[in-house]
Amino acid sequence: MNNRLYGNLIFELSKEGRRGYSLPRNHVGNYEIPASMRRTKDAELPACDELTVVRHYTNLSNNNFGVDTGFYPLGSCTMKYNPKINEEMASLPKFQNLHPLQPDNTVLGVKALVLFLEQALCTLTGLAHFTFKPYAGAHGELTGLMTIDNYHRSRGDMARKKVIVPDSAHGTNPASAAVCGLEVVEVKSMSDGTVDVDDLKRIVAEQGDEIAAMMMTNPNTLGLFEKNIPEIAELIHNCGGLMYYDGANLNPMLGVCRPGDMGFDVMHINLHKTFSTPHGGGGPGAGPVGVREGLQEFFPFVSPYNGNFCVMMRACAYILSLGAEQIKNVGPLATLNANYIKESLKDVYELPIDGLCCHEFVFDGLKDKSTGVTTMDVAKRLLDYGYHAPTIYFPLLFHESLMIEPTENESKETLDSFIAVMRKIAEEAKTHPDEVKSAPHNTPIGRVDDVLAAKHPIVTYRAMKNDEMKD
């Protein structure tokens, strides 16, 4: 589309004999590598001049979309601003060059930081102890469920092998339960999107002796505050189970209310979401697990080391720079921003569950279904206007889910421009739907066949050259 050689691989820019770098003169003499260990033909490396290499990778990086380049309303992921002070702190050489096997007396400051973070998380959650071993939210779920399993087994209560999970839950909840060897029992949601307590009563009456735990996300995956938690916690505790809190959505609760006070026994926190670490593309993360007093002795062995220290360091910097008073504004501002977008768009996008949301909410596609324009089309068209798409087709409760989470950091101007573009797309869906259905038009790569990409991923240059490119 222009002279930037978009789409070229560095191998395709290669010209035999070109050089970008010369090795310094050898001052130490030659060492003859035994013939049996030498390659028989030269490695196939691209041969490019330095300027071509610099432009190639700089252009690639410009194709990247991040929180630092534009609005990123990806629901459930809490793509909030990552303050630069965090990066400065996490990249201090004395933290960067730590080795996990360093003697204890050389890392006393680091241990003090971990202790500080544990105390801060205990204060924010109302729980008593945290382990920092898990590397992500899902890993935290597994660690938390193993803790619960260990607890029941320590009491000789071997029959408790079932975990109650709401039908609105994040997919990692049932997956973690399955990996832990537990059976998932699904509890229904009511039409207002929160857990159906009557359905839960039925499950507890029928299978109470087998219930190990109930997993809940609050606000739940629809962005709704679960109002009946005290009653739910009482039901579960009375039948002998424990309450697990999926804390990936802790952001709107920071300093406002605490899982420990609501009756939860075990939880994980996604430090990379709530406490600001850049986490697009799958990492890095940290999923510390917190427990009520007495349960810490049941933490399982999931890793010999504490998890991603740099993520923990960023969380410390974030908490310290906001402080106890400012941190209380995070939740209300995230909630205000989400409700502002929701109310400004609900006349053109279908809002299946009306009322106040917390930090995020879900539309069920465009209100006018006659245009044939789907949530996928809206998401692709947003790219043309320079926005990252919201989360789409999740949660599974609706056919055309479009899940928007603006976070607390965005200005009113940013929210207003996003709202204007969303309204414009709704208008385009009526006036020229084909342009929306064939979007994106302004990106380096148009609409990809993601089923083909998932089924036949081509991840090597050679495979692409020889076979698949012809198909």
Ligand X SMILES: *Cc1c(COP(=O)(O)O)cnc(C)c1O
Q: Which is nearer to ligand X, 182 or 426 (CB)?
A: 182
Per CB under 6 A, the list member of 249, 308, 337, 339 interacting with ligand X is: 249
Q: Which long-range contacts (CB under 8 A, 24 or more apart) does 231-235 make?
A: 231/197, 232/195, 232/197, 232/200, 232/263, 233/262, 233/263, 233/264, 234/263, 235/197, 235/200, 235/201, 235/204
DSSP reduced 3-state for 185: strand
Q: Is 390 in the site for ligand X (CB under 6 A)?
A: no
Q: Is 407 in the site for ligand X (CB under 6 A)?
A: no
Instruction: Return the range that interacts with ligand X (CB under 6 A); candidates 44-52, 133-141, 152-160, 199-207.
Output: 133-141
Token pair recorded at residue 114: 């971990």
Instruction: Return the range that interacts with ligand X (CB under 6 A); candidates 134-142, 317-325, 345-353, 403-411.
Output: 134-142
Q: Is 80 in the site for ligand X (CB under 6 A)?
A: no
Sequence letter at residue 342: K
Q: Which is nearer to ligand X, 217 or 375 (CB)?
A: 217
Beta-carbon contacts of residue 92 (< 8 Å; ≥ 6 apart): none
DSSP reduced 3-state for 404: strand
- H helices within 346-437, ranges in order? 375-384, 412-431, 433-437
Q: How far is the CB of 459 from ligand X (least distance, A)?
A: 22
Cβ of 5: how many Cβ atoms within 10 Å? Answer: 13
Q: Is 270 in the site for ligand X (CB under 6 A)?
A: yes
Q: Is 285 in the site for ligand X (CB under 6 A)?
A: yes
Q: Is 395 in the site for ligand X (CB under 6 A)?
A: no
Query: What residues between 439 and 468 interact with ligand X by CB under 6 A?
Result: none
Q: Is 259 in the site for ligand X (CB under 6 A)?
A: no
36 class by beta-carbon count within 10 Å (0-12 exposed, 13-18 middle, 19+ buried): exposed
Q: Is 357 in the site for ligand X (CB under 6 A)?
A: no
Q: How far is the CB of 376 from ligand X (least distance, A)?
A: 21
Per CB under 6 A, the list member of 124, 127, 136, 271 interacting with ligand X is: 136
Q: How far is the CB of 99 from ligand X (least distance, A)?
A: 25
Q: Is 137 in the site for ligand X (CB under 6 A)?
A: yes
- Number of residues in contact with ligand X, rule: CB under 6 A? 14
Q: How far is the CB of 287 from ligand X (least distance, A)?
A: 6
Tokens 């998401």 correspond to what residue? 379
Beta-carbon contacts of residue 127 (< 8 Å; ≥ 6 apart): 121, 259, 260, 264, 267, 290, 291, 292
Instruction: Return the range that interacts with ligand X (CB under 6 A); candidates 29-37, 56-64, 99-107, 245-253.
Output: 245-253
Q: Is 76 in the site for ligand X (CB under 6 A)?
A: yes
Q: Is 217 in the site for ligand X (CB under 6 A)?
A: yes
Per CB under 6 A, the list member of 89, 138, 267, 353 interacting with ligand X is: 138
Name the residue with the smallest CB distance to ligand X: 137
What angle, rounded to 10 degrees, do the helices at 172-179 and 137-154 form?
40
Q: Is 277 in the site for ligand X (CB under 6 A)?
A: no
For residue 402, which phi and psi values (nearest 5 degrees)?
-140, 105
- Nearest Cα neighbor of 245 from 269, 210, 278 is 269
Under 8 Å between Cβ of 361 and 403: yes
- Nearest Cα neighbor of 247 from 227, 270, 230, 231 is 270
Token pair recorded at residue 104: 């204890």
Q: How far is the CB of 392 from ligand X (least distance, A)?
A: 15
Q: How far is the CB of 295 from ligand X (least distance, A)?
A: 20
Q: How far is the CB of 196 from ligand X (least distance, A)?
A: 19
Query: What residues between 142 and 181 interact with ligand X by CB under 6 A?
Result: 170, 172
Query: How far is the CA of 15 from the CAs of 44, 57, 465, in angstroms?
Result: 12, 17, 17
Binding stretches for ligand X (CB under 6 A): 76, 136-138, 170, 172, 217, 221, 246, 248-249, 270, 285, 287
